[in-house]
Amino acid sequence: MRASLPSALLAATLLLGACAPIAVKPARTPALNFSGPAPDVVIFAVSGRCGTGCLAPRDNWDYLTARGTVDAVADAIAAAGYRVEVAGYASSAQESYVSHLTRTVQHGYPALTAAYARLGTAWGGRRPRVVLLGHSQGVAWLHHLARAYPEQPVALQIDLDGICAGWYTDHGAAIRALRPDPVRPSPTEACNLFRVGSRSLRGKDIVWPNVVRNLEVQSKRLPARAGESGGLTFNYLFEVTPNVRLDGSLAGIERYVSPREDHSAVSYPNSDALRWVVSRLTPTVQEWRREDAARAGED
């Protein structure tokens, strides 16, 4: 009995550690504030399915904000002199709920659409540029958002290894319980197949006409030693379908396949994937500057 006591204490310690909530850090970048002056750019970020050892969608949470990924993108844009505000969401069909992993309130797709719908009127019709940043299932939510709101231009959509795994099991019943919108397509269609030329593609793989530019990241296919952002040697889940336009073209689309980062690792700010995204933001922001100068010359 005495010999088993240390083992029992160790097991209890590990169990308590496993039950401890994940520490959640807010973004350094100012949060979206409809009561303040109009920002130049708003980043809407949607995280994906929680990892192993959790129950999705109950435990899903906004890890893109907590990890600093949203700030990494915001910093690159703010460095060009733009005022940026951010809003982060979890992969959920509920407006708000408490994640059992973080024990904090999380906001889902209905909260996202409520904020998104205000962009056109909140500041007297002056719309900020919109950037959509998603990882995993978050990519599916955001591609559906772009499709459902064609009147809202999206300056840039960033996809970090978008997947539809678990979509209908996780969200089908909750989405069907939402009040139907007679004007907008239902999120149940987010992972449906659409005809693009002679092919059938899921909505997450289609860059919709109101999206100007798209940066797509895909995680590694083959076993490789993990990079700075951690992860596994063997990648258990990865995106393989390249994004395209409805006409089958690649206009405004760039893609990066990480040679050493798995599905989770590409979502961290110190990943090769995010470094690539930030590097491609430079020409994007330069183009915005040219557009702003041209508009100023017309006034």
Say what the pLDDT of residue 5 is: 40
Other residues' Cβ atoms within 10 Å of the Cβ of residue 153: 15
Mean of pLDDT values over 83-88: 99
Torsion over CA: 147, 148, 149, 154 (sign): negative
Question: 184 exposed, middle or buried (CB, 10 Å; 0-12, 13-18, 19+)?
Answer: middle
Whether residue 10 has pLDDT greater than 70: no
CA–CA dist 197, 151 (Å, integer): 24
Whether residue 119 has pLDDT greater than 70: yes
Query: What count of Cα atoms within 13 Å lies in the side-chain half-sphere of residue 36?
Result: 10
- Identify whether the C-beta of residue 245 lies closer than 8 Å to the C-beta of residue 187: no
> In CATH, which of 3.40.50, 3.30.160, 2.60.40, 3.40.109 is domain 23-298?
3.40.50
- Cis before 57 (ω within 30): yes
* Sequence letter at residue 53: G
Q: Is residue 180 very low, low, confident or very high in pLDDT (cuts 50, 70, 90)? A: confident
Whether residue 11 has pLDDT greater than 50: no
Say what the pLDDT of residue 8 is: 40
Say what the pLDDT of residue 103 is: 94
Q: pLDDT per residue over 126-140, tens digit each?
A: 899 999 999 999 999
Enter the pTM of the model: 0.91
Mean of pLDDT values over 255-272: 94
Say what the pLDDT of residue 240 is: 87
Say what the pLDDT of residue 238 is: 82
What phi and psi values does residue 217 have, to the nearest 5 degrees?
A: -110, 135
Mean pLDDT, the chain, as a whole number? 90
Mean of pLDDT values over 163-189: 92
* Sequence letter at residue 148: A
Say what the pLDDT of residue 7 is: 41
- Identify whether the C-beta of residue 136 lies closer than 8 Å to the C-beta of residue 168: no
Whether residue 116 has pLDDT greater than 80: yes
Weakest-pLDDT range from 14-28, 30-44, 108-122, 272-286: 14-28
Whether residue 185 has pLDDT greater than 60: yes
Whether residue 125 has pLDDT greater than 50: yes
